[in-house]
Amino acid sequence: MGTVNTMNYLFAAYTAIWIILAVYLFSIRAREKKLREELDNLRQLIERQPANRR
Amino acid sequence: MPGKVWVVFRKDLLIELRTKDSLNAMLFFGIVVLVVFNFALESVRDTIREAVPGVLWIAFVFSGTLGLNRMFAAEKENSCLQGLLMVPMDRGIIYLGKMLAATVFMLIAEVVIFVFSLVFFNLTVWAEIPYLVLVFVIGTLGFTTVGTLLSAIAANTRMREVLLPLILFPVVLPILVNAVEATRIILNTANYGALKLPLTILSTFTIIFGTLSYLLFDFVLED
Amino acid sequence: MDQPKYKHLDAILGGLLLVGMILALYMAFIGAPRERTMGDLQRIFYFHVPSGMMGLAAFAVNFFASLMYLIKKDRKWDSLALSATEVGLMFLTIVLVTGPIWAKPAWFVWWTWSPRLTSSLVLWILYLAYMLVRNYVPDPDRRAVMSAVFGIVAFVDAPIVFFSIRWWRDNHPSAMIETGDLDPLMRPAFYTCIAVFLILLVYLMRRRYFLESARLEAERLERLVDLAR
């Protein structure tokens, strides 16, 4: 088990961790953005209809 | 309470015995699984005896899942469930009745499938039978305790029958592991003393999930 | 949606996390000694094991939140359960990916059906099934109930699965044995990584939770708009 060989796997493992973490974080961020837009849209729609508020 | 359980149990039993739809499907599917495995394991024909416990329980589990799927399908179609819920009784009783009915049907299927496997795999069993009965009963009970609850959950989803295997199989893995091992001990070795551990785990599983499912069933049925 | 005080906490956690991650990396690669038999490959453990622990912790949160939902019927608990499960799945994915990467050079196989690895796989599948259940129940209240029930079942099942596999493996011994001892020199790095991953867990769960709250708010507003039409 040479040192070079081991380092490759070590690198691969930590890269994998970063990728998984990054993908998840970005997915949350993307969903947050989409929701913020949707919420803004909805709030505007509601403001245009003052008479029928619950 | 036993009386009420008996009523629910008897209802499910009679309905099924009248048409035998589910039972036929379960039997047929179980036997087909046996045959399929024979073809799949052709390359290891010499050692196929080793695989028999695993093949048997896969056939049982697939067949049992088929039976569980049908459990709530009919009720939903005929709104029979609403009627049942209007009777003033503990929802857990519905659970017990259905679970027992499912167990009975699955055991019937297992006996038939097992007989076929004796023929297909050229097995002879006499002294082993009481032990096999024990393992089959406890294993099946464990399967149906949690299976009944999960079947009720699946019936509430868009995917219905398709979802049940997906959520059931991972949960009943302990049943599979221990029942296969116990069956292997009985069929392929004569070391009955070693049965204690798998049987203990199977019983523990059954008791834990029987109680849990009984308690949780109420929440799933609210309609 | 985002109250000011939450934003503060998020910023603090985020900052702590950034510093923490750098610290964790330092400890794992430089602060910790080189292991005798496996060499630097062993350093995977400093992130692999804490990920596993946080995954388990997340699922414990799910169990607790599912229980609380069934008792209190407050949707907040359902949101917490969902957040915990998603984050837990992410941590378990890390475990299941880094495990084989470590195993290949160490044991010369990608996968062994060792108790811990197999149990991690089953756990991962169980909570994936939880997400499936959530996906296929259209009504929000029913969805919360169904997933809460399944979450409880899954959590109770997990130890039984682990024990079954472990006993079965003892019955069928193989050459693969997992080491459990920890060299005292490695402890500082190990504990640091656990602490940092704990912060990561909390940070991710919070963000996911507020995302879910926002989604529920959007649903509520949508209903208002529909009513007005």
Average pLDDT over residues C91-106: 91
Share of chain B above pLDDT 90, in %: 54
Residue A4 lies in a domain: no
Distances (CA, A) of C8 to A26, C12, C20, C191: 21, 6, 18, 27
- Long-range CB pairs of C109-115 (<8 Å, 24+ gap) are C112/C174, C112/C176, C113/C165, C113/C169, C114/C169, C114/C176, C114/C178, C115/C162, C115/C165, C115/C166, C115/C169
Closest approach of B20 to chain C, Cα-based (Å): 30
Closest Cβ opposite residue C39 in set A3, A20, A32: A3
Query: What is the tens place of the pLDDT at every residue in C151-176?
Result: 999 999 999 999 888 887 766 665 45
Looking at residue C120, its pLDDT comes to 92
pLDDT band at A6 (very low <50, low <70, confident <90, very high): confident
Average pLDDT over residues C129-148: 93
Residue C61 reports pLDDT greater than 70: yes
Q: Does A44 touch chain C (CB under 8 A)?
A: no
Looking at residue B63, its pLDDT comes to 95
Q: What count of residues does chain A have? A: 54
Residue B133 reports pLDDT greater than 60: yes
Closest chain A residue to the Cα of C207, Cα to Cα: A28
Q: Do B166 and C129 touch (CB under 8 A)?
A: yes
Total Cβ atoms within 10 A of residue B159: 14
Interface test with B, best of C71, C121, C149, C152 (most B CBs within 10 A): C149
Average pLDDT over residues C111-123: 87
Contact indicator for C84, C59 with CB cutoff of 8 Å: yes
Containing domain of residue A27, as a range?
A: 20-54
B21 or B202, which is more confident: B202
Query: What is the tens place of the pLDDT at every residue in C14-59?
Result: 888 989 988 888 888 888 888 777 778 888 889 999 999 999 999 9
DSSP conformation class of B92? H
Query: What is the tens place of the pLDDT at every residue in B81-113?
Result: 666 667 766 778 889 989 999 999 999 999 999
Q: Do C1 and A1 touch (CB under 8 A)?
A: no
Residue C187 reports pLDDT greater than 50: yes
Nearest CA-CA partner of C195 in C30, C11, C46: C46
Residue B16: enclosing H or E segment and its boundaries? helix B2-19
Closest chain C residue to the Cα of A21, Cα to Cα: C90
Q: What share of chain B is helix, strand, coil (3-state, %, to 5)?
A: 90, 0, 10
Those residues with Cβ within 8 angstroms of residue C2's Cβ, 6 or more apart along the chain or in another chain: C210
Query: What is the tens place of the pLDDT at every residue in A10-32?
Result: 889 999 999 999 999 999 999 99
Q: Does C217 touch chain A (CB under 8 A)?
A: yes
Q: Which residue has the tokens 């070693």?
A: B194
And the tokens for C56? 């388990």
Closest approach of A35 to chain C, Cα-based (Å): 7
Residue A34 lies in a domain: yes
Distance, in Å, from the CA atom of C173 to the CA atom of A4, rounded to the nearest integer, reads 32
B123 or B109, which is more confident: B109
Looking at residue C188, its pLDDT comes to 86
Q: Would you list the DSSP string of C2-51?
A: --HHHHHHHHHHHHHHHHHHHHHHHIIIIISPPBTTTBGGGGGHHHHHHH
Q: Which residues of C touch A13 (CB under 8 A)?
A: 44, 47-48, 97-98, 101-102
Q: Do C146 and B209 touch (CB under 8 A)?
A: no
Closest Cβ opposite residue A20 in set C38, C94, C102: C94
Q: What share of chain A is helix, strand, coil (3-state, %, to 5)?
A: 85, 0, 15
Residue A2 lies in a domain: no
Query: Rounded to 10 degrees, what is the CA torsion of C94, C95, C96, C100?
Result: 110
Q: Do C153 and B158 touch (CB under 8 A)?
A: no
Average pLDDT over residues B64-74: 84
Three-state SS at B148: helix
Residue A3 lies in a domain: no
* Nearest-5° Cα angle at B186, B185 to B189: 60
Q: Which residues of C touch A1 (CB under 8 A)?
A: 38-39, 41, 105
Q: Do C161 and B174 touch (CB under 8 A)?
A: yes
And the tokens for B68? 């569980």
Distance, in Å, from the CA atom of C210 to the CA atom of A31, rounded to the nearest integer, reads 11
And the tokens for B205? 């599983």
Closest Cβ opposite residue A52 in set C87, C97, C228: C228
Q: Does C145 touch chain B (CB under 8 A)?
A: yes
And the tokens for A12? 């691969």
And the tokens for B188? 């392929």
Closest Cβ opposite residue A17 in set C38, C94, C217: C94
Q: Which residues of C touch B161 (CB under 8 A)?
A: none
| Mean pLDDT, all residues of chain A | 84
Closest approach of A10 to chain C, Cα-based (Å): 6
Number of domains observed in the structure of chain A: 1
Looking at residue C104, its pLDDT comes to 86
| Mean pLDDT, all residues of chain B | 88
